[in-house]
Amino acid sequence: MSSNSHSSQNMKKVIITGADGQLGYELQRTVLAGYECIATDKDDLDITNADAVMAFVTKTKPDVIINSAAYTAVDKAEEDVELATAINSTGAANLAQVCKDTVVNGKAIQFMQISTDFVFDGKAHTPYLVDAPAEPEGMYGKTKQEGDEQVLKILGDDAFIIRTSWLYSAHGNNFVKTMLRFMAEREELGIIADQIGTPTWANSLAQAVWQAIDNNVTGIHHWSDAGVASWYDFAYAIMEEGIELGLLDKEITLNAITTADYPTPASRPCYSVMDKTTTWKALAFKSEHWRVALRKMMSELV
């Protein structure tokens, strides 16, 4: 467990769960002045254990909890339903409940739940609004949606849920880093071209979460970078940026393939672009285009 702060009596304490993940890492990098991060991973805090959550919160007395812990192995979740449910649903409920039941500095603890585009079925053709029906197809999406529902049930109007998509960063494993590795090793790659969404730099999501905390934003929100792409478009951009930045020394052949050409245990949304206009309004700032964000993140790898 690590803690970073600007030492002062008036610091707001923020527990970050899943601190070793991509978003957890970026939340620590982008922390606003006046906030102190208590960074936890599963060894520090087992969110699936309600008593452990209560004990940890009683000891640390946070003003805010950001739940960026999640079981995100989409295909494995189809078999590992029990663990996915424990982390994504029970864990979120445990954290929300302790926020409701605990008063710190005269106030209930603010709670931020990070969710996913996988709560949608992917059958839409226009960006999903925040109040679009959540109809997840796979177990990952179902367990995340169950967690969101628990949070809403427990916290009501005080709940804050932010859905995001196609997350990547310089930290951890993700599509960008996998593509760079494959592109350096191979002459050609087949990339899915019929799944459409929006890549999101975890750094931009982290900044949005801090803005939401600082402005006491509540409700359900969507945050990804701006624009749309298929995985094929995303891969092509990674290759172009990679060559430009000297991370790759040559172009390779990218073949556009269909979802049917690459079967996986879990089905993925064909279309998961989310409408972000209400979030942009609530936070008073907009996402950058995903190509701009991609260039910034990839510059960190040089």
* Domain ranges, ordered by start, for the chain: 2-170+200-225+272-288
Structure token pair of residue 95: 């954290």
Q: Could you give the CA distance from residue 160 to residue 209 in angstroms, rounded to a whole number?
A: 10
Phi-psi region of 141 (alpha: psi -120 to 50; beta: other; left: phi over 0): alpha
List, for residues 169-209, the tens digit of each pLDDT value.
999 999 999 999 999 999 999 999 999 999 999 999 999 99
Pick 267 or 54 by higher pLDDT.
Answer: 54
Q: Which of 140, 232, 236, 271 is catalytic?
A: 140
Q: Could you give the CA distance from residue 74 to residue 267 in angstroms, rounded to a whole number?
A: 9
pTM: 0.95
Residue 1 has pLDDT above 80, yes or no: no
What is the reported pLDDT for 4?
59
Average pLDDT of the segment spanning 144-163: 98
List, for residues 36-95, the tens digit of each pLDDT value.
999 999 999 999 999 999 999 999 999 999 999 999 999 999 999 999 999 999 999 999
> What's the one-letter identity of residue 208?
A
CA distances from 112 to 11, 240, 246, 253, 296 (A): 18, 36, 38, 42, 26
Where are the strands (E) in 227-297, listed by range? 229-230, 253-257
Residue 2 has pLDDT above 80, yes or no: no
Q: Could you give the CA distance from residue 50 to residue 98 in angstroms, rounded to a whole number?
A: 8
Average pLDDT of the segment spanning 217-232: 98
What is the reported pLDDT for 224?
98
> What is the maximum span of the chain, computed from C-alpha positions, in angstroms?
61
Superfamily designation of domain 2-170+200-225+272-288: NAD(P)-binding Rossmann-like Domain (3.40.50.720)
Our answer to whether residue 35 is catalytic in this structure is no
